[in-house]
Amino acid sequence: MAIGEVCEKTGLSARTVRYWEELGLLPGVRRRAGGRRVYGRDELERLRFIKRLKRLGLSLEEIRELNAVHGIDGSTRAMLGRLDEVLEGHLGKVDERLREMMDLRDEIQKYRDHVRARVEGRRRR
């Protein structure tokens, strides 16, 4: 596949695909004689995987680390083990942010009640 077709199938921009390749997240992209990139099924699946990890909040550095773990011995199991650890860390951060947001929600609600009470107090005068 040419880069345009890959972009259509993944929803990524050509710039993003090229950038991820430059970072080493997409190794082994073949090139035609004229230097144009040619992508196969493996690259397409890897791009979709990277896109999903980004959506889950992983940084490109974390994704690069996962690639390195996989590249050491080609072990998907080792990479998935590390991914599990990274996701656990992200879950902890999300849980903390949710707690903070709930606290903020409670504070806003209390202040809103206070404001309404003051508005109601003025209307009665």
User: What was the pLDDT predicted at 116?
Assistant: 95
Q: For residue range 2-56, what is the model confidence (pLDDT) as tens digits?
A: 999 999 999 999 999 999 999 999 987 888 888 888 999 989 999 999 999 999 9
CA 110 centroid distance within chain: 35
In whole angstroms, give the CA distance from residue 106 to residue 115: 14
pTM equals 0.78
Q: What residue spans define the domains of the chain?
A: 1-55
- Is the confidence at residue 71, as pLDDT, over 80? no
Q: What is the mean pLDDT of residues 62-69?
A: 90
Domain 1-55 falls in which CATH fold? Multidrug-efflux Transporter Regulator; Chain: A; Domain 2 (1.10.1660)
For residue 70, what pLDDT is reported? 78
Neighbouring CB atoms inside 10 A of 86's CB total 18
